[in-house]
Chain A
Amino acid sequence: MLQITNLSKSFSDTKVLDDISYTVDLGKLVALLGKNGSGKTTFLKCISNIMNIDSGNINYNGSDFLFLNDKANIFSDLTILNNLKCILRSYNQNLNIDIYNQYLHLLGLKDLENLPLKYFSRGNLQRNKLFIALNLSWDYLLIDEPFTNLDDNAQAVFKDIFIDLKSKNKTIIFSTHNFNYISDICDESIKIKEGGVLRC
């Protein structure tokens, strides 16, 4: 269980997150909503422990998490495989070639396998971002804007993968502006407004 207690974060005099407490179990899909600049990305960065917080406590209770920010999450000179191998080495995990091939086909990246990532379109980089997550082992996935730059087909594939991951008792917390499209599969949606969290 992920427990966030009294989380606060401010930039200079602007309080972005104000005393947020929130709990989420495994096996949930949680959409993080809010206007531009409301603090969704800051919230994800704070709970992934890459950003210093002013006060509060974040406890994963022994579970592993993976954080993918809104950028491509790549070393641009590498291919899909080499980029993934680098990340796996950083996480001290091994490549499962069956999973690798399965999701490479599913996400439509097979034809791009030998191309350096710097030549990928934004949509394909977004596919590659989810592909990275699928090849790593985690309990909580914190992912920023996973549905941007995707065509209709890719959005449908992403949605199916999210449902599949949920059935495997994984929790995904993701920020989005396309909530109408994904609302039917979400267990919860939380809105960040004026520094606080509202459960919708």
Chain B
Amino acid sequence: MLMNLIKNEFLLEMKSSNNLFYMTFFSLSCLMLSVFSFPPSELNEIIILSGFFWIIIALVSIKLIENSFVREKEMGIYDLIYTSPTENYLIFLAKLVTFSLILLGVQLFIFMIYSLISTAIEIDLIFKILMLCLLSNVGLIGLGIIIYLMTSLNSTRSFLFPLILFPIIVPLLIQSSNIFIALCLGKEISFYGESLLLLSTFALMAVILGINFFERLIKY
């Protein structure tokens, strides 16, 4: 059942007019713009990449979540889907898995392009970085879905959603950025155990909150 729902989410994202291509293009162009604005230096590149990268990813994830619910609401299919006999937490998990993987795809693409123009990221680091990204994505998307649904009935949701979400995800973004810089500079990852623990806590908290509260939040 979960696989069917994941398949649905992927299909909808691929067929959507506001699709992945635009988001990836947006991320890449923001990153390039920031990289070329600073004087060339390896340290600059890593710090800029890390800082801008996580901010852009946070923006892309907001857009991804918003698009998904707007798509369901604008033509009224929201009621039809959420009154189905399927357990609603499965829909939450399907969205979480799909969006985390889509975000991972965007991140992989950015790294591939970035590794062509910069020596800051070596190709053999990409696997480790992607594992970090996946952990961060789960927390980011999970909390994003919950906060979006909490604000979705408010007329100022476009403003309220990022306003509430950003302060909550700041620790997640900072710790992700720290580990990212450490990986790029070849530092020992064991020094960053607390950061990894915090990211895991965010991910776990998002999954548990989503499973327990998604059903209540989708009702209006």
Q: List residues 199-220 of chain B with CB under 8 A from any CB of chain A.
A: 218-220
Can you pick out 5 interface pairs between chain A and chain B where the beta carbons lie within 8 Å of each other?
Answer: A50-B218, A69-B80, A73-B80, A91-B86, A92-B86
Please pick, from B15, B82, B85, the residue contacting A82 in the complex, using a CB distance under 8 A: B15
Q: Is the interface of B mostly helix, strand, loop or mixed?
A: helix
**Interface status of B156 (Cβ within 8 A of chain A):** no
Question: Which stretch of B5-13, B42-50, B143-151 is in the interface?
Answer: B5-13
Q: Which of B83, B85, B218, B219 has the most CB of A within 10 A?
A: B83
- Please determine whether A82 and B11 come into contact, CB atoms closer than 8 angstroms: yes
Chain B: minimal CB distance from A172 (Å): 16
Interface string of A68-108 (1 = CB under 8 A from B): 11111111111000100011011110000000000000000
Are the C-beta atoms of A87 and B81 separated by less than 8 Å?
Answer: yes
Q: Is the CB of B220 within 8 A of A77?
A: no
Distance to closest chain A CB from B86 (angstroms): 6
- Of residues 1 through 55 on chain B, the ones whose CB sits less than 8 Å from some CB of chain A are 1, 4-5, 7-8, 11-12, 15-17
Choose, from B68-76, B102-110, B186-194, the stretch at the interface: B68-76
Query: Known: A64-B85, A73-B80. Is A86-B220 also a contact (CB below 8 A)?
Result: no
Pair A49/B81 contact, Cβ less than 8 Å: no
Complex: how many Å from CA A50 to CA B220?
Answer: 7
* B77 interface residue per 8 A CB criterion: yes
Interface size class of A (residues with CB under 8 A): 20 to 34
Find out whether the CB atom of A45 lies under 8 angstroms from the CB atom of B81.
no
A positions within 8 Å CB-CB of B: 45, 48-52, 64-78, 82, 86-87, 89-92, 117, 132
Inter-chain CA distance A75–B68, complex, in Å, is: 11
Query: When the two chains form their complex, are residues B75 and A73 in contact, meaning their CB atoms are under 8 A apart?
Result: yes
- Residue B75 contacts which of A52, A66, A67, A71 (CB distance < 8 angstroms)? A71
Given contacts A77-B16, A91-B85, are A67 and B79 in contact (CB under 8 A)? yes
Q: How far is the CB of A68 from chain B (nearest CB, A)?
A: 6
A117–B79 alpha-carbon span in the complex (Å) = 18
Interface membership of B155, Cβ < 8 A: no
Contact B4 A74, beta carbon cutoff 8 Å:
no
Min CB gap A133→B, angstroms:
10
A68: which B residues are within 8 A, CB to CB?
Answer: 79-80
The complex places the Cα of A59 from the Cα of B144 at a distance, in Å, of: 34
Q: In the complex the two chains form, is B85's CB within 8 Å of A75's CB? A: no
CA distance A71 to B8 in the complex (A): 21
In B65-117, the 8 Å CB interface with A consists of 71-72, 74-77, 79-86, 91
Is A71 a contact partner of B76 (Cβ separation < 8 A)?
Answer: yes
Q: Judge whether B83 and A50 touch: CB under 8 Å.
A: yes
- Once the chains bind, are A75 and B4 in contact (CB under 8 Å)? no
When distances are taken between beta carbons in the complex, the residues of chain A under 8 Å from B220 are 50-52
Contact B83 A49 (CB under 8 A): yes
Complex CA gap A87/B76 in Å reads 13
Identify which of B15, B17, B72, B91 gathers the most chain A CB atoms within 10 Å of its CB.
Answer: B15
Partner of B79, one of A45, A52, A89: A45
